[in-house]
Amino acid sequence: QSALTQPASVSGSPGQSITISCTGTSSDVGGYNYVSWYQQHPGKAPKLMIYEVSNRPSGVSNRFSGSKSGNTASLTISGLQAEDEADYYCSSYRSSRTLVFGGGTKLTVL
């Protein structure tokens, strides 16, 4: 079962915007609007940031937004802050009630 493809790392300066991509296939990302994004700080459990491609759970900053085009989903963080430095993972539904995660992206705030 192949993981979804994410860039290994991205970086940006405070105040800037960055985008993390998550590429799958028509069997997962492209076939369903069931993409989620998770933030994970070192030594901590993942935290849900985006669900169903573009929805934010209560309490998540509106600086975080999600979108999808074809087989690629994207997470955009605007107004970058030092606290955003973390690992980010996408996940998608992949038929038959199964899930798949991406390989993760390390965000560095310069």
Partner 1 sequence: QITLKESGPTLVKPTQTLTLTCTFSGFSLSTSGVGVGWIRQPPGKALEWLALIYWDDDKRYSPSLKSRLTITKDTSKNQVVLTMTNMDPVDTATYYCAHKAANWNYALDYWGQGALVTVSS
Residues that bind partner 1 (CB under 8 A): 1, 3, 32-34, 36, 38, 40, 45-48, 51-52, 55, 57, 89, 91-93, 96-104
Q: How far is the CB of 46 from partner 1 (least distance, A)?
A: 6
Q: Which is nearer to partner 1, 39 or 109 (CB)?
A: 39
Q: Which is nearer to partner 1, 69 or 95 (CB)?
A: 95
Q: How far is the CB of 101 from partner 1 (least distance, A)?
A: 5
* Distance (Å, whole) CA 33 – CA 96: 15
Q: Which is nearer to partner 1, 48 or 110 (CB)?
A: 48
- Nearest C-alpha neighbor of 94 from the set 50, 43, 29: 29
Q: How far is the CB of 13 from partner 1 (least distance, A)?
A: 26
Instruction: With beta carbons less than 8 A apart as the criterion, state whether 79 and 17 touch.
Output: yes
Q: What is the CA radius of gyration of the chain?
A: 13
Q: How far is the CB of 83 from partner 1 (least distance, A)?
A: 19
Q: Which is nearer to partner 1, 14 or 64 (CB)?
A: 64
70: left (phi over 0), alpha (psi -120 to 50) or beta: left
